Amino acid sequence: MTRTTGWKTVAQGSKALIIDRYGQSRIVDGPQRLFLWRAKQFDTLVRYAANQSEYLWIQHADGTVEHRPGPCVVFHNPLLIRDICVRKAIVLDGNEVLVVYRKSQETGKMERRLQQGPTQFVPSADEWMHEFSWHGPDKTNKTKLIPNQWRFTKLKVVPDQFYYNVRTVDDALVKVKMMLFYEIKDIELMLQETKDPIADMANAVTADVIAFASQLTYEDFLEQTGKLNELGSFPQLVKRTKAIGYHISKAVYRGYQAPAQLQRMHDDANERRTKLKLSVEQVEQDQEMTDLKLESELDTLKMQHKLKMEQEEHKHKLNLEELEHKIAMEDREHENHMQQMILERQSELEMKQNTNNQMVDYLRQLKSLGVDLTEYLKSKNPRPDKVTRVVTDTDKADIHLHSSSAV
C-alpha cells in the first residue's frame, strides 16, 4: 500500500481526515501546513451546507438517519457518515396541509398528525408524508378522469371543482355534462373513509344522473334538465361526500351530447314543434292585436267621457265659486252698510246727547241766575190759539169740524 509522505496544506474553512500507519485517525481544521510521514490516508473532507430553506439528510455509519435543519454545515467524515445530501424544506401555503406519519417510541404504534400551512416544514428522520393518488382529468380531455392521475403530498383545502360526463344507460345513449364544486371539511374523516374522494364523487354523481334519467323519456329528460342544477337531484352524491368529509356546494349542468341520428330526429321534431308553436303564437298575436285595438278604442271613449265630465265639473265648480264670491261680496256690502248705519246712528245719538247735555247745562245756569224755567220753557214752546178736530162717522160720509179757542 502506498504511504503518504510530505507536506500537506489544509485550506481555511476546510477539514482533512488523516489516518496514520497505525490506523489511528484524526481531523485537522484549516488553515494548517502539515508534514506527513508514511501516513496511510489523507483526504480533504467534502463540505455540505444547507441554507434557511434546506436541510441536511445524514445517514450515519451505524445506520441511523438524521435530518439537520439549515442553516448548517457538515463535513462528510467517511468513518462516521455513510452518506449525506442537501434537501429542500417543504414549503406550505396557507391553503395546504401535510399528513405526517411517525412511529411512536413509547407505544410502537403509528401516529398521524396534520401539518398546517403557511410554513417551511422539515420532517424528522422518523417521519414520512402521506402520498395521495387520486383520479384526475386527462390532459387531452378534462371531462375524462384517469386513475392515479393526481399524485401529491400537499393536500389543498380550498374549494375546487372538476368536470365529468355521465353516460346514461337506456334506449338512447346520452352523455350528460356536469361540473361539481366541492370543498373538504374533515381531513381525518376523509383519510379514514376513502383513499380517492374524486372517484367516489364521480361514481355517486353517475348513479344520481342515471336514476334521474331512467324515470324519464328522452323528450321529458330534455325538458327537465334544469333540475340537474339543483342539489336535491343528487341525494347519493350529497350523502357520500358528507360521509367522506367533503361538502358539495353546487352542481352545474353543462348540457348534453346525444348520438347524431337521435339528435337529428330530435332536431326534426323540434322544428315541427317550433313551426306549430310559431303558428299558434301568430294567431295569439293577431288576437292580442285585435284585443289591444278594441281596448285602445274603449280607453279612448273612456278618456273622452272622463274629460267631458271633468270639464262639466270644472264649469260647475267655477259657477259655484262665482256664486259664492257674489254672495260673499253682497254679505260684505250689507255688513258694511249696516256698520255705516250703526256708526251714523251712534253719531246722531252722540250729537243729540251733546245737545241735551248743553241744554241741561244752559238751564242749570239760568236757574242759578234766578230765571223761572217753567215760564222760560213755555215761552219757547207757546200753546196754539185754536185746535181743530176732525171726526168721521162710519155709517155716514159727513165730516164734522169742531173748533175751540185756546184758553
Q: How does pLDDT run across 245-295, given as a tens digit for each residue? A: 999 999 999 887 765 555 565 566 667 778 788 888 888 888 988 888 898
Instruction: Please tell me the distance from the alpha carbon of residue 381 to that of residue 405, in angstroms, as a whole number.
Output: 18
Q: Are residues 37 and 145 in the same domain?
A: no
Where residue 386 falls among pLDDT bands split at 50, 70, 90? low
Q: What mean pLDDT comes out for the span 191-204?
A: 94
Same domain, 146 and 40: no
pLDDT at 51 over 50: yes
Report the alpha-carbon distance of residue 181 to residue 179 in Å, rounded.
7
Question: Pairing relation of β-strands 399-405 and 386-392?
Answer: antiparallel
50 belongs to a structural domain = no
261 close to 269: Cβ distance less than 8 angstroms:
no
Work out the end-to-end distance of the chain between its first and last CA atoms, rounded to an integer number of angstroms. Answer: 206
pLDDT at 175: 82
DSSP state of 158: S
CATH of the domain at 221: 3.30.479.30
End position of a domain, from candidates 242, 258, 274: 258
Domain boundary at 240, 258, 276, which? 258
Q: How confident is the model at residue 171, as a pLDDT?
A: 47
Residue 341 domain-assigned (yes or no): no
Q: Is residue 35 one of the residues assigned to a domain? A: yes
- Is residue 128 a part of any domain in this protein? no
Q: Is residue 348 part of a domain?
A: no
Instruction: Taking residues 181-189, report their average pLDDT.
Output: 94
What range defines the domain where residue 225 resides?
Answer: 140-151+158-258
Region of 355 (left: φ > 0; alpha: ψ -120 to 50; beta: rest) is alpha
Q: Which of residues 21 and 237 earns the better pLDDT score? A: 237
pLDDT at 183: 94
Q: Are 132 and 154 in contact (CB under 8 A)?
A: no
- Residue 122's pLDDT band (cuts 50, 70, 90): very high
pLDDT exceeds 60 at position 407: no
What does the mean pLDDT of the chain come to?
85
Cell of 311: 270639464
Higher per-residue pLDDT: 265 or 344? 344
How far apart (Å, rounded) are the C-alpha atoms in residues 166 and 176?
A: 5
Predicted TM-score of the model (pTM) = 0.58
Residue 240 forms part of a structural domain: yes
Q: Are residues 37 and 146 in the same domain?
A: no
* Rounded mean pLDDT, 115-141: 92
335-353: average pLDDT: 90
Q: H helices within 87-193, ranges in order?
A: 187-193
The answer to whether position 10 is within a domain reads yes
* Residue 100 forms part of a structural domain: no
Torsion of CA 176, 179, 184, 187, to 10 degrees: 40
- Which pLDDT score is estimated for 153? 94
Provide the 10 A C-beta neighbour count for residue 108.
7
In the chain, how many domains are there? 3
Q: Which of 258, 279, 300 is the last residue of a domain?
A: 258
pLDDT at residue 389, as a whole number: 62
